Amino acid sequence: MTTSKRHKNSEIASSQYGINIFILGLLLMLATYLNITGLSEGDRLIFLIALMLVQVLWMIFYMAIGNRKKWATAEKDGHAGARWLKCGIGLFAGTTIAMHALKLGYFIGYTECKSIVEGMYPVTHIIHTILQVYFLWRHSKDVIKSFKTLERFGLIHSVYTNLLLWASAVATESDHQLEEHMGRLTSLGFVNITLHEDHMQCNCTSSLCDSFRRGIYYLYPFHIEYQILASAMLYVLWKNIGNNLGSRHHRSKLTFHGVVPGTILGLITLGATVATVAIYLLNIGRTKIKSESALSIYYIYSIVALSFMSVVSLVGLVIHKLDATPTLKEKSPAVKLDENLLVGSAIGSWITSWGSIIAIIFSDNHPAFIWYNIPYSILVILEKYLQNMFIITYINRKHKQNTRTPCMGISVMSHETRFPSKNTDFRTGNENKHHDHCHITQQDSTSQDTCAKIKKAMLKNITVALFLCNISLWIPPAFGCRPQYDNGLEAVVFGFIPWIIVIDISVPFSIFYRMHSTYSLFDVYCKIGSS
């Protein structure tokens, strides 16, 4: 069997293993939430603990072997594991550890009426998170060449373990959000639905239990993003196994000259975002008038921000179409994954936007703020489409080196190359023609350089503006601004529980989209700056 065939077979075998683990985990989760006889929450947690422990053992094995000189890999994928991506996953890992520390504190308060497994789970998760972040910081760029079959299974196991932890977090947050937002809908005049609450059969031994519980749910969005980021980075490692990439260390010179307009516009958007989020959270759910006012302000702000981002993304695409510079396409799995993640994570917002449009068309109730929802929903679809096109266009660009040949005088008869001195005026007719041609060529080159500098400055400003705008639009859903929950219209059309479950699945994807767009735009800025 050839090496390439063994490579392909082990890749297929490992991927099928991972998919089956994922399906099994989802079915256990579904059975638990449907209260199927014989299965409990403890059984699901035992399964997740076992998956995390297997991954921990594999990571220890990999790092122990990888540290030995004879097995150390020299090849690196420069596109994978960028420093800003590592910092992002480190930040979210910190919030994940804090969340599970609060879970552990909550468990200690209710030790008498909780299973020991509920205490083991946060402890295992903290150990798993610390080791995984260390592993990704040290080895995210590796191109694995040894123990390839074993490493494929270890990495794909890690990818799907993190995806199951993500799914578990989404399901848990959905329960909490369902209760919270049903109360908010009452202020808008919708029918109140009372949901079951988790009543403990014993009292908390600490006065902090209620604070622990509230703190846990504030940190869930960050925990969800951590699991998605970790899965993505591990997937790149899995795809890079056995590849011949060579050493690809991109050390672009990063400068911030000439980006004042883009920075100012981005910071204005960021300031408007903070003000809008504050107004929204202070007014939503208070009274019918205040809730409708908060929703209207949020929609108006979003329409302006999304319109601006759509326009600048379109301008960036037009500049690309006008640029005749020949380019090569990047072939790194990390770049390909960036494309897939941008498109895939945008699906969440597209689903909720189309759902809103359908709900507006078929709903009998049309409050004033709902009419802002139509342009808002359309712009959410359009903005992500245009921004994806802009980012993918530029992260795939790899400029050829400039090979322009300088003008020089050539004597055909003597086979010599002569460079005219400053004081030489004795030229033949042919030499004069050649000199004129060189002069015109140099003028054209200067003109082209000027145009190139203008285009480059425009692209850098566009990228900086989009960078700051994506940071801005990450803030509202992460801190609880979710108009798709709170306006109530879509929930009436599609059903309260089904629609809220859809939103709870879609919102983490939307947050991840903004985060990943921010990281990708940083990469775009570096490429534009070094071109």
Q: Which residue has the higher pLDDT, 89 or 501?
A: 89
Q: What is the mean pLDDT of the chain?
A: 77
Residue 125 in this model has a pLDDT that exceeds 90: yes
Task: Name the pLDDT band for 247 (thresholds 50, 70, 90).
Answer: very low
CA-based torsion, 238, 240, 242, 247: positive or negative: negative
pLDDT mean over 152-178: 84
pLDDT mean over 489-502: 76
Question: Measuring CA to CA, which residue among 139, 87, 78, 84 is closest to residue 398?
Answer: 78
Residue 478 in this model has a pLDDT that exceeds 80: no
Residue 529 in this model has a pLDDT that exceeds 60: yes
pLDDT mean over 17-23: 89
Task: Name the pLDDT band for 243 (thresholds 50, 70, 90).
Answer: low
Residue 357 in this model has a pLDDT that exceeds 70: yes
Residue 365 in this model has a pLDDT that exceeds 90: no
Residue bearing tokens 């530029």: 394
Per DSSP, the three-state class of 404 is: coil
**What's residue 217's pLDDT?**
75
Task: Name the pLDDT band for 416 (thresholds 50, 70, 90).
Answer: very low
| Number of helical H runs and strand E runs in the chain | 14, 4
**What's residue 190's pLDDT?**
58
Residue 412 in this model has a pLDDT that exceeds 50: no
Highest mean pLDDT among 28-32, 112-116, 306-310: 306-310
**What's residue 79's pLDDT?**
59
Q: Of all residues in the chain, what percent carry a pLDDT higher than 90?
A: 19
d(CA 221, CA 219): 6
**What's residue 415's pLDDT?**
44
d(CA 156, CA 154): 6
**What's residue 268's pLDDT?**
93
Q: Which residue has the higher pLDDT, 460 or 170?
A: 460
Residue bearing tokens 């400055």: 457
Task: Name the pLDDT band for 429 (thresholds 50, 70, 90).
Answer: low
**What's residue 211's pLDDT?**
78
Query: 201 φ, ψ to 5°?
Result: -90, 5
pLDDT mean over 417-422: 46
232 residue type, one letter:
A
Q: How many CA atoms lie within 13 A of 101 on its CB side?
A: 8
Per-residue pLDDT tens for 190-219? 555 554 445 456 777 777 777 777 778 778
**What's residue 414's pLDDT?**
41
Question: Measuring CA to CA, which residue among 90, 173, 76 is closest to residue 135?
Answer: 90
Per-residue pLDDT tens for 60-104? 988 887 555 444 555 666 656 566 677 778 888 898 899 888 888
**What's residue 510's pLDDT?**
82
Question: Model's pTM, two decimal places?
Answer: 0.68
- Sequence length of the chain is 531
**What's residue 30's pLDDT?**
81
**What's residue 178's pLDDT?**
67
In DSSP terms, 411 is beta-bridged to 416
Tell me if 225 sits within 8 A of 515, measured CB to CB.
yes
